[in-house]
Structure 1
Amino acid sequence: MSGLGTVVRSGTGRRRVQTLVIGLATMMAVAASVLGGTLLVISGAPFDDAFARQHGAHLSLQFDAAKVSAGRLAASRDAEGVSAAAGPFPTAVLTPRGDAGPAWPVTVAGRGDPGGVDRVALADGRWPARPGEIALSADAPLFAAPGTRIGFAGPAGAQELTVVGVGRSVTGTADAWVVPSQMPALTAPGTGGHQMLYRLADSGTAAGIAAGGRAVTRGLPAGAVAGEQSWLTVRKNAERDTALYVPFLMAFGLLGLVMSVLVVGNVVASAVGTGTRRIGILKAVGLTPAQVVRAYAAQALIPAAAGTVLGVLAGHLLAVPVLAEAGEVYGTSSPAVAPWVDAAVVAGVLALVAATAWASARRAGRLRTVDALAVGRHTPAGHGRWAARVAGRLPLPLPVALGVVRPFARPARALAMGTAVLFGTVAVTFTVGMGASLGEVMAARAHDAADVVVPAPPPDFGSRGPGAGGPGTDGGAGVPPRAAPAAVAAAVEAAAGTGRHYSAATVRATVAGLTGTVDVHAFTGDASWGGYTMVSGRWIEGPGEAVVPTPLLAATGTRIGGSLTLGGLAEPVTVRIVGELLDPRKEGMQVFTDASTLAAARPDLTETSHHIAVAPGTDVDAYVDALGADLAPLGATARAGGLDGGSDMVVTLNALSAVLTLMLVAVAALGVLNGVLLDTRERIREIGVHKALGMTPRQTVAMVLTSVAVTGLAAGVLGVPLGVALHGRVLPAMGESVGLGLPGSVIAVYDWAALVPLALGGLLIAGLGALLPAGWAARTRTATALRTE
């Protein structure tokens, strides 16, 4: 091994704490950067691959057949900006009956073949070739298996169709497909609609899509467009799950990178400062200034390289499970971490470490040999004398006074330690805030502030087939009667201790312009107290009004004050949007309205839940028992209310934030340990003098710990507002990435009761880092300390 290699190996092995600090800091930065960069780059890759392979539609338009003819729509193929088009396809919203599952409305399109624009990729079976056959979308709310028979009510009587295939439209243009000649038997003349699918020359921006929409609809009657869908909206929904993590991981990655630079710079500078005499010896035996600089830079690069390798492995392990399901959804291979992301992160981090180490090590190269050999290890005279004089006038024990003034004797080192503690405090503050915010989101998701709940009967409760009894009737031998909502509501109203209460029923409906169905929650009574979190606007106050989550507003291109038309019911229902709601369930595809709004559509509201707030002073358990006894003859039960459990996404985010925060706190504490260890070794002879004059081991520990108290407290006080500011920037970005608007109650989660302990957290991190050096100083024998040079 060369002489330079021996110096590098010796220095790395001798400074084990510094080596560990650099390796851990680099690993944390690389892991967060690889994971965040990977999710940012390939979160949309499965959708993009499927969209390109299936020649997806950039713009899907649904037209009212009563206002525009198929022939006129066919001419839109030649509109400006249209590169390809398919259609018009006759469409209808139908409610199936049979073996295919719940009777939820589906969008059926008459399409002769699966090719062309928005090619339907068949996963099983074949495409319908004649009337009486149907192909289902793999994403449809039906039991999608070839051979299943599905019945539809048609103008000439019931139509029974056989499922012959299962496919997927990458942009979800329909739930099922039949041959065009089948559609007249399913829809009455003058009803239904037409669907056109367009590929546009300018499709990369929302403005380009809007321009294409104006071009193809120019000259059509007002109200002819019943709904539209942009591929950009579908793509954003496809990226939603993984995009959520990107702002969060980028924040941790940036914290890790900055801390890596600070740690490497501090460690190398400290190694040069404490090894001045050693540098002089190395130069005296023949090492050139450039070799000395390379030696100290290499001592930082070796653990950084090891940390980089471990960080890449950790990033891969964390990224792959997050993306595992994306490939299955679109029928593509499972996404993998892009090699160039690894290469970019590794090259960037190592280059940053190398530049920092080189800049810090240049001082070693500039030192003259004679000067380096003559320099001792004592603190430069004059540093901190004014602080010592001030501390001497304060009523402090001598060990505490000696410790408090120490940061002023080594201001550069104290600043480096304080910066490490600062970033640790920022990470802890951010993580605590994010946990509280996610708790608020989960509370909004559960929106169950009721003390007592009477659950709705399950969908298969009782008989659902032909001839089954209605609400409150016996469904057959051995089947308990279905509880009538009115009877249950009367029992709740009559129960002693009942305060406020409301009932909620859920039906499925379609929304013009969207495929698939949405959940429509119909309330009887005032549900505004039920835990529903408004982003903007207000809660429903009467018939015809509705509140909807942010994703539905985005998907339909509507806003507060606009309207939505609900289909798939006995009659179409138009509602006016009066509020935007925070509700991440069902991907935000929900509508909340008053039950009287749906009266004309005659929905089935037998599956109704009841939510009760008991009167003040009422014992909830006793109320549940008494109400349960009253409801038993009706076939209903009562239980105590409360919030539902969290989601896997929240568990994953909390786990990731906890792991990354612990890593940052560990790096911060090790940075403090490194600084205090260097400081303690420098002043070991001084500590020996104090011990000779009577300082006890306990007082020695107190002196060392208080030497970081001012630094840790100052870093904590400064780190808390920075952590709050980081939380205020990252949380809205996370919400925007998944299409959710976040109200102030989700962002403003800090209060003084939490901020004060968080500020003291900097003191705790600093104390943890100084604990081991303090113990070492206390155990050192006085004679040994006095002999140390």
Structure 2
Amino acid sequence: MRATLRWAHSDLRTHRGEALFLVLATAGVVVSLLLATALFGYATNPWQRVFTQSRGAHVWLHTADTADAGRLNALDGVTAVAGPYPTASTTLASRGARAAVELRGTPDRPSVGRPLIASGHWLDPATPDGVVLESRLARTLLAAPGDTLTLPGTARTLTVLGVADSAEPRYRPGERPGLVWALPSAVRDPNGQVTGLRLTDPEDTDYAVQRAVTELGAGAVGEVTTWKQARAEEQGDNRLLGQVLGLFGLGALIAAGLAVHGAIATRIRGHLRDISILKAIGFTPSQVVRVYLLQHLAYALLGAVSAAALTEALGNRLPGRLGDAVGVWQGLPGHAVVLFAVPVCAVLFIAATTGLAAWRAGRVPPVPVPRPASSAGAGLSGPVRRLLGVRLSPALVLGWHTAFARRPRTLATVARLALPLLLIVVALSAWSTIDRFQSRPEQIGLPTALTVHTDSGMGARDARALLDDDPQVAAVYPGVEVAALVPGQTSTIALRGLGTREAPYPHALAEGRAADGPDEAVAGQGLLNLLDAEVGDWVRMTVGDEPQILHIVGRSIEPENAGRTISTSLDTLRENDPGLTPSRYELQLHPGADASTVAARLTSAGHGHLDVHTVPNPADGLSPLRGVVVGLITILALIGLIELLTAIGGMVREGERDLLALKAIGLSPRQIIGITITATAFTALVAVVAGTALGAPLGRWLIDAQGRSSGVGAGIANAPSAALLLVFGAAAVAGAAAVAAVPATRAARRRLTDTLSAVA
């Protein structure tokens, strides 16, 4: 045992840098996997907790106020019904903020879909104009219990009694109104009603919706929302961040395992004589394997334990969403199990790769096999000798020969080094895609900066004139948006009429062509997935009692509504309803215009009849991804450095025998150093080319696959620029050459007696 520890200690002293990098890389990998697990838990658990505690409804049906929703109690599979509650659409304002809301008349605190009071208290008949706000809406309005809300354009006010959490789809500016619970007497002029259904089997949601729509009649149902939609919306960007961290964490774990495997394999080749001596003095093959296995297992264990301890102690102090995610995750029941299982799995994977490499050490014969003698020119191919004869730099020619003389071994080294470089290119692709969202939003389905909603108090002509008169508004696209039932009547989608045939709306098309003819439309990926349709199909949907048949001629990138949107021109919708007037306007601004300033100016000019808000950019929710990308690149760079040090050490050890011959034929120490540096640079160059060639298309494919699954659609990926990839490649090659300089210099300056003893 003492001899084993001495051997491990000697090896650690010789490869201290490599050991440190291995510990740091393992820690980074485990931290990535733990943060990914925390984000997945953060994405799902808060909503699931609210849904469970509130006995959330699996289906919410928005219907006409004349619909007989009481008949839904008799449907098979329905265990409880909430409502029907009268609803009215209006706008609330507080502290300069405005939001479209749905007032819901709730006489008693419901047993199904029961709001969970976060602050304040529930409705009180003693305060007839008191309301309870959904929590996200309350944050938007900067409202708290005791505050007074105004209804723009009227003298009416409402008093906030409480703020509550709900499992229903929450407020999203311009997409979904906020939820406000009020007494029925406070819901004046209701324009509909809402009913919630709690089901025996949540997986039968589509069938239950179909039965409910059939029972009430398609014309009576305006909108359907389900628990699956609410859960998907709540997961949102958190789930995406978790997927990114998990994907790169697993990729980095594989790269780290391969790097350890290569390091041990190279070290065994360089210590064949020492291993033979160990066996000759009594070491068994299992003891030799155990030396390498336990040593690298200790490195991995140290890194994994450090990562788990840091995540547990400091994870909730991380800024922004990552810190919130870790804080929530630490309170979940399975937190301790995951905190133990993830590091253990990472250590076991590294142990498996270590064991495969160490097994070779156990097969080394106990009698040293002398290496065949060679000279400086032995093994040189004809082209290499001719290049040396034409007075090319010996360092360049012999460096190329050193790097690629042993092709199988060189290919293995290049493959191990290319893997972290490939993942870095994928990470750069994610960074470039986020930059595209922020710098060129018109290319990813956000051609306008502001959305304006009007109420009945302002006519379409007056609204258009007011918007056109603003000096910073470049273009105005009138439109409407209605909820439509899809074929089969299992869910609703957004049907939009935007722009006219004379001034078409500038959709960002990823496939097909623009809708410029009668009954033509473009659809988002989410709608195509929902209907199992593709470009070129005709689709039929129902708006109230009226059918609408449209020909999908293109696929647009749709960041809103999970891509479950179909868009046509306002003229097409007017063919079915000639009296249709626009109720929303999409505004393009002149370059340099500040959207918030224009929104405030238009809101003031509208005198309470305009609801103006900026178009949300998905990149705003992905800002934490930048920090994640930087951290991942650092981890992958450490893994690449481990593999690079392994390759350099192998080159130096295998070049010890040629050192005497190189000095004998007159090469200077600087030229000998240049051979190792050049060989390392050539190896790194091939790895960079391979990693870039494979990483760029892989990054595009992964990002587009995520776009398709989220409903936004493929076509959002943006590969890193050629200049960035060139800088990345040059930095990697130059860094590899710089790292090789120190061991190459040390080897070239060795005394001849040292070299003779090393090769004897």
Query: Which of the five TM-score ranges fits, normalised by the shorter chain?
Result: 0.7 to 0.9
> Is the Cα–Cα contact under 8 Å of residues 547 and 592 in structure 1 kept in the other structure?
yes
Give the structure 1 partner of residue 610 of structure 2. none
SS at match of 2:109: coil
> Closer, same or farther in 2 for the Cα pair 1:526/1:262, shift >3 Å?
farther
Give the structure 1 partner of residue 740 of structure 2. 770
SS at match of 2:196: strand
> Closer, same or farther in 2 for the Cα pair 1:407/1:158, shift >3 Å?
closer
Identify the match of residue 89 of structure 1 among 85, 88, 93: 85
> Is the Cα–Cα contact under 8 Å of residues 89 and 102 in structure 2 kept in the other structure?
yes
> Closer, same or farther in 2 for the Cα pair 1:354/1:102, shift >3 Å?
closer
Identity between Structure 1 and Structure 2 (%):
26
Give the structure 2 partner of residue 702 of structure 1. 674
> Closer, same or farther in 2 for the Cα pair 1:447/1:408, shift >3 Å?
closer
Write the mapping of 1:405-424 to structure 2, written as runs, cut at 5 A: 405-411=401-407, 413-424=409-420
Write the distance in 2 (CA, Å) between the matches of 1:136 and 1:519.
Answer: 28
Q: Give the letter aligned to residue 425 of structure 2.
A: T
Listed as ranges, the gaps of 5+ residues in structure 2 are: 171-177, 486-493, 595-600, 606-614
Cα distance, 1:660 vs structure 2: 1.8
Write the mapping of 1:87-126 to structure 2, written as runs, cut at 5 A: 87-95=83-91, 104-126=99-121
> Is the Cα–Cα contact under 8 Å of residues 264 and 353 in structure 1 kept in the other structure?
yes
Give the structure 2 partner of residue 195 of structure 1. 194
> Is the Cα–Cα contact under 8 Å of residues 452 and 586 in structure 2 kept in the other structure?
no
Cα distance, 1:175 vs structure 2: 1.4
> Closer, same or farther in 2 for the Cα pair 1:224/1:40, shift >3 Å?
same
1:249-271 deviations in Å (ceiling 9; x for gaps)? 23322321222222221222223
Aligned pairs, how many?
709
> Closer, same or farther in 2 for the Cα pair 1:28/1:412, shift >3 Å?
farther
Matched, 1:269 2:265: yes
Cα distance, 1:444 vs structure 2: 4.5
Give the structure 1 partner of residue 321 of structure 2. 322
1:644-675 deviations in Å (ceiling 9; x for gaps)? 99955554323322332233233223322222
Cα distance, 1:339 vs structure 2: 2.9
Cα distance, 1:238 vs structure 2: 0.7
> Is the Cα–Cα contact under 8 Å of residues 258 and 416 in structure 2 kept in the other structure?
yes
Listed as ranges, the gaps of 5+ residues in structure 1 are: 460-465, 473-481, 493-500, 567-571, 614-619, 625-630, 636-642
> Is the Cα–Cα contact under 8 Å of residues 436 and 749 in structure 1 kept in the other structure?
yes
SS at match of 1:219: helix
Identify the match of residue 718 of structure 1 among 690, 714, 732: 690
TM-score, normalised with respect to structure 2: 0.77
Give the structure 2 partner of residue 137 of structure 1. 134
Write the distance in 1 (CA, Å) between the matches of 2:375 and 2:661.
Answer: 20
Write the mapping of 1:476-487 to structure 2, written as runs, cut at 5 A: 484-487=466-469
Cα distance, 1:229 vs structure 2: 0.6
> Is the Cα–Cα contact under 8 Å of residues 562 and 711 in structure 2 kept in the other structure?
no
Write the distance in 2 (CA, Å) between the matches of 1:105 and 1:41.
Answer: 31
Write the distance in 1 (CA, Å) between the matches of 2:134 and 2:151.
Answer: 17
Give the structure 2 partner of residue 534 of structure 1. 509
Matched, 1:175 2:175: no
Write the distance in 1 (CA, Å) between the matches of 2:531 and 2:133.
Answer: 24
Write the distance in 2 (CA, Å) between the matches of 1:195 and 1:102.
Answer: 26
> Closer, same or farther in 2 for the Cα pair 1:711/1:693, shift >3 Å?
same
> Is the Cα–Cα contact under 8 Å of residues 62 and 225 in structure 1 kept in the other structure?
yes
> Is the Cα–Cα contact under 8 Å of residues 559 and 618 in structure 2 kept in the other structure?
no
Q: Give the letter aligned to residue 124 of structure 1.
A: S
Matched, 1:441 2:416: no
TM-score, normalised with respect to structure 1: 0.74
Give the structure 2 partner of residue 220 of structure 1. 216
Give the structure 2 partner of residue 670 of structure 1. 642
Give the structure 2 partner of residue 392 of structure 1. 385
Write the distance in 2 (CA, Å) between the matches of 1:741 and 1:171.
Answer: 25
Cα distance, 1:248 vs structure 2: 2.5
Write the distance in 2 (CA, Å) between the matches of 1:458 and 1:529.
Answer: 15
1:441-486 deviations in Å (ceiling 9; x for gaps)? 22443679999x9x99999xxxxxx9xxx999xxxxxxxxx99545
Q: Give the letter aligned to residue 340 of structure 1.
A: V
Q: Give the letter aligned to residue 349 of structure 1.
A: A
> Is the Cα–Cα contact under 8 Å of residues 39 and 325 in structure 2 kept in the other structure?
no
> Closer, same or farther in 2 for the Cα pair 1:24/1:388, shift >3 Å?
farther
> Closer, same or farther in 2 for the Cα pair 1:165/1:364, shift >3 Å?
closer
Give the structure 1 partner of residue 9 of structure 2. 9
> Closer, same or farther in 2 for the Cα pair 1:610/1:297, shift >3 Å?
closer
Cα distance, 1:236 vs structure 2: 0.9
Give the structure 2 partner of residue 253 of structure 1. 249
> Is the Cα–Cα contact under 8 Å of residues 671 and 769 in structure 1 kept in the other structure?
no
> Is the Cα–Cα contact under 8 Å of residues 61 and 225 in structure 1 kept in the other structure?
yes
Q: Give the letter aligned to residue 533 of structure 1.
A: A
Write the distance in 2 (CA, Å) between the matches of 1:583 and 1:315.
Answer: 36
Q: Give the letter aligned to residue 189 of structure 2.
A: L
Give the structure 2 partner of residue 427 of structure 1. 423
Write the distance in 2 (CA, Å) between the matches of 1:168 and 1:770.
Answer: 59
SS at match of 1:229: strand
> Is the Cα–Cα contact under 8 Å of residues 437 and 617 in structure 2 kept in the other structure?
no
> Is the Cα–Cα contact under 8 Å of residues 326 and 334 in structure 1 kept in the other structure?
no
> Closer, same or farther in 2 for the Cα pair 1:400/1:123, shift >3 Å?
closer
Q: Give the letter aligned to residue 223 of structure 2.
A: G
SS at match of 1:295: helix
Q: Give the letter aligned to residue 417 of structure 1.
A: T
Give the structure 2 partner of residue 65 of structure 1. 65
Write the distance in 2 (CA, Å) between the matches of 1:503 and 1:306.
Answer: 61
1:419-447 deviations in Å (ceiling 9; x for gaps)? 23211331232233333322222244367
> Closer, same or farther in 2 for the Cα pair 1:430/1:160, shift >3 Å?
closer
Give the structure 2 partner of residue 22 of structure 1. 22
1:388-433 deviations in Å (ceiling 9; x for gaps)? 3442133444333332222455455433421232113312322333
RMSD: 5.2
SS at match of 2:202: coil
> Is the Cα–Cα contact under 8 Å of residues 376 and 662 in structure 2 kept in the other structure?
no
Q: Give the letter aligned to residue 208 of structure 2.
A: G
> Closer, same or farther in 2 for the Cα pair 1:533/1:162, shift >3 Å?
same
1:270-314 deviations in Å (ceiling 9; x for gaps)? 232222332233334443332222112112112222222344456
Give the structure 2 partner of residue 477 of structure 1. none
Give the structure 2 partner of residue 279 of structure 1. 275
Give the structure 1 partner of residue 475 of structure 2. 502
Write the distance in 1 (CA, Å) between the matches of 2:248 and 2:451.
Answer: 46
SS at match of 1:223: helix
Cα distance, 1:53 vs structure 2: 1.1
Cα distance, 1:4 vs structure 2: 2.9
Q: Give the letter aligned to residue 667 of structure 2.
A: M
Write the distance in 2 (CA, Å) between the matches of 1:309 and 1:352.
Answer: 15
> Is the Cα–Cα contact under 8 Å of residues 86 and 196 in structure 1 kept in the other structure?
yes
Cα distance, 1:228 vs structure 2: 0.5
Cα distance, 1:235 vs structure 2: 0.6
> Closer, same or farther in 2 for the Cα pair 1:537/1:565, shift >3 Å?
farther
Cα distance, 1:243 vs structure 2: 1.3
1:696-717 deviations in Å (ceiling 9; x for gaps)? 1221122112323553343333
Write the distance in 1 (CA, Å) between the matches of 2:240 and 2:754.
Answer: 57
Give the structure 2 partner of residue 33 of structure 1. 33
